[in-house]
Amino acid sequence: MLTDPRFRSEVQIKVPFHDVDPMGVVWHGNYFRYFEVAREALLNQVNYGYREMKASGWVWPVVDTRVKYRSPLTFEQQVAVRARIEEYENRLRIGYEIIDIASGKLTTSGYTIQVAVDAASGEMSFVSPPVLLARMGVTA
């Protein structure tokens, strides 16, 4: 099921000057912004982007994240940021890889975990709501 290409996305980013620190490398917090760009593309692929989430009555805050820095990114480096859905039944876990386009080398990996929260009540759900499962084409 999770090998379906709809559950994977890739975006390309050219590292902008404003993302690098005085040492000439991408500041560590900016990697999460790159993950976010790929996550948004991925969620749009299954027609459950942020506008659709809001309209469905559910919000999905990030509750856990991890990043593994293998080699630094630098100004004007061309990278591919890949995102893939790894879990969806009780939470949404999305894995990421950042690949240097020129060399094909993996520079960064990580994940985010999001949980469904009822927008009206503010209560967290311990299972993914039916709307996510429907958008992914699975039955509850």
Q: Is the pLDDT reported for residue 5 higher than 90?
A: no
Domains delineated in the chain = 8-134 (3.10.129.10)
Which tens digits make up the pLDDT trace of 51-81?
999 999 999 999 999 999 999 999 999 999 9
Q: What is the mean pLDDT of residues 110-138?
A: 95
What is the average pLDDT score of the chain? Answer: 95
Strands, DSSP E only, in the chain? 8-14, 58-59, 62-69, 78-87, 92-100, 106-114, 117-118
Q: What is the mean pLDDT of residues 36-44?
A: 97
CA distance linking residue 70 with residue 14, whole number of Å: 18
pTM greater than 0.75 (yes/no)? yes
Q: Is the pLDDT reported for residue 1 higher than 80?
A: no
Q: What is the mean pLDDT of residues 20-31?
A: 95
CA distance linking residue 77 with residue 86, whole number of Å: 27
